[in-house]
């Protein structure tokens, strides 16, 4: 029996050395296992904290970690590549995002049109077999330009065309025009999506422009000088394009007067005539009186001057004529009014 008692005692002593797995807390802790977060709302023991801060904090943390680990160990586990892995639940602690929630991109003009018409995008393979060159040619990208050069090393001059015209240059120009148009459409789509008003362009393509387009182009180009077209001479009977004024700074905005009915016109003109005929001369009494007084004063002064030329001025009365109200004392400081605001030195 002694032996058993000894063993039990030893066991108890050993257990006393280590802290147990179970921890008792006054309040339940809040866990968020998804973020491995644990919040302990229990009051701290201020006595122990002041006595030995580090030990107390370490023990407190140990207990909390033990509780957190107990929770984690109770989650379902898996075995991946001989390693025991625990599956964490979704985090519940909400953290702010770094950037805004992405908005869906507004569709381009083509996308809108395609949707309306039910046009669907076809997937094209990047390489296609060329019979002429007996080669796989890329649709775009690397080695595409070389392939095009290899293929079109000779160009036919079409019938009725100028034989001296450079067909290669023409082809290049057509392509650059296409690229420019594409870029323009891209920018227009961006402007549309950002809700920016874009100034009217000049002439997009001279080959397919109508008379109306040409007129707009003329108006826009004329207003595209530094002085927004103020000093541009115009042809006789030249007309400005319509609907350009709102977006072109130089173009004048003409507003047509509304048509006037004959009755209204008649009454308006009659009123005007009445107004002119019924005019009466205005008499400003104050002004008249003032004028009268002025005249009299002038007459009197003339008389005075004629009298005074015969007399000599008095010798003694030469000195300064001081204003009696102003004192001769120096102004002293600190007696004036302050300008207000807080009193005292400005403190930061």
What dihedral do alpha carbons 319, 323, 329, 332 form, nearest 10°?
A: -140
> Does residue number 91 form part of the binding site for other proteins (CB under 8 A)?
yes
Q: What is the DSSP letter of 60?
A: H
Instruction: Quote the least distance from Cβ 131 to other proteins, whole Å.
Output: 31
Q: How many CB atoms are closer than 10 A to CB 240?
A: 19
**Per-residue x/- marks for other proteins, 146-185, CB under 8 A?**
----------------------------------------
Shortest distance in whole angstroms from residue 167 CB to other proteins: 30
Binding residues for other proteins, rule CB under 8 A, total 63
Least distance to other proteins, CB of residue 11, Å:
11
Please answer whether residues 126 and 138 qualify as being in contact, where contact means their C-beta atoms are separated by less than 8 angstroms.
yes
Q: How far is the CB of 77 from other proteins (least distance, A)?
A: 7
User: Distance between CA atoms of 37 and 89, rounded to whole angstroms?
Assistant: 12
Stretch that binds other proteins, among 44-52, 112-120, 126-134, 332-340 (CB under 8 A): 44-52
**Using CA atoms, how far apart are residues 114 and 120, in angstroms rounded to an integer?**
7
In whole angstroms, give the CA distance from residue 192 to residue 189.
5
Query: Is residue 7 near other proteins by the rule CB under 8 A?
Result: no
CB of 26 to other proteins, least distance (A): 11
Reported as half-sphere exposure (CB side, CA atoms, 13 A), residue 112 has a value of 8
The correct pick among 6, 10, 51, 62 for binding other proteins (CB under 8 A) is 62
Separation CA 245–CA 219 (nearest Å): 9
Location of structure tokens 């009193």? 343
* Dist. CA 148–CA 228, nearest whole Å: 45
State yes or no: residue 19 binds other proteins (CB under 8 A). yes
Residue 210 sits at the vertex; the CA angle it makes with 209 and 215, to the nearest 5 degrees, is 100
The nearer residue to other proteins, 187 or 288, going by C-beta atoms, is 187
Q: Which stretch binds other proteins (CB under 8 A): 131-139, 173-181, 189-197, 305-313?
A: 189-197
Q: How far apart, in Å, are the Cα atoms of 94 and each of 34, 37, 88, 111, 174? A: 11, 12, 16, 37, 57
Stretch that binds other proteins, among 96-104, 146-154, 267-275, 286-294 (CB under 8 A): 96-104
* Nearest CB to other proteins, comparing residues 92 and 267: 92
Please report, as residue ranges, which positions from 225 to 284 form the binding site for other proteins (by CB under 8 A): 247
Q: Is 345 helix (H, G, I), strand (E, B) or coil?
A: coil
The footprint of other proteins (CB under 8 A) covers: 18-21, 34-44, 46, 49, 53-54, 57-58, 60-62, 64-66, 68-70, 72-74, 77-78, 80, 83-88, 91, 93-102, 186-187, 190-191, 194, 196-199, 247
């Amino acid at each position: 029996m002694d032996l058993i008692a000894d063993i039990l005692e030893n066991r108890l002593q050993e257990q006393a050395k280590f802290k147990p797995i179970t921890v008792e807390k006054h309040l339940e802790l809040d866990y968020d296992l998804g973020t491995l977060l644990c919040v302990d709302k229990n009051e701290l023991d201020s006595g122990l904290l002041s006595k030995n801060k580090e030990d107390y904090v370490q023990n407190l943390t140990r207990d909390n970690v033990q509780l957190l680990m107990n929770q984690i160990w109770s989650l379902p586990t898996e075995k991946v590549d001989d390693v025991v892995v625990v599956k964490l639940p979704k985090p519940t602690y909400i953290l702010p995002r770094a950037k805004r929630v992405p908005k869906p991109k507004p569709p381009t003009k083509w996308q809108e049109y395609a949707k309306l018409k039910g046009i669907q995008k076809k997937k094209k393979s990047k390489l296609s077999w060329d019979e002429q060159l007996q080669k796989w040619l890329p649709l775009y990208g690397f080695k595409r330009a070389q392939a095009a050069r290899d293929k079109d090393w000779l160009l036919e001059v079409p019938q009725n065309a100028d034989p001296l015209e450079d067909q290669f240059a023409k082809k290049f120009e057509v392509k650059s025009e296409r690229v420019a148009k594409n870029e323009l459409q891209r920018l227009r789509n961006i402007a549309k999506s950002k809700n920016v008003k874009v100034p009217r362009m000049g002439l997009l393509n001279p080959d397919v422009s109508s008379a109306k387009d040409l007129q707009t182009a003329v108006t826009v180009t004329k207003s595209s000088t530094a002085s927004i077209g103020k000093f541009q001479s115009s042809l006789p009977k030249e007309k400005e394009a319509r609907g350009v004024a709102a977006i072109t700074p130089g173009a004048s905005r003409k507003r047509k007067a509304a048509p006037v009915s004959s009755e209204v016109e008649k009454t308006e003109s009659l009123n005007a005539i009445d107004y002119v005929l019924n005019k009466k001369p205005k008499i400003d009494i104050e002004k008249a009186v003032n004028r009268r007084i002025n005249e009299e004063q002038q007459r009197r002064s003339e008389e005075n001057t004629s009298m005074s030329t015969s007399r000599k001025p008095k010798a003694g009365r030469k000195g300064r004529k001081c204003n009696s109200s102003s004192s001769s004392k120096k102004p002293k400081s600190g007696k004036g009014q302050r300008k207000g605001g807080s009193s005292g030195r400005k403190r930061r």
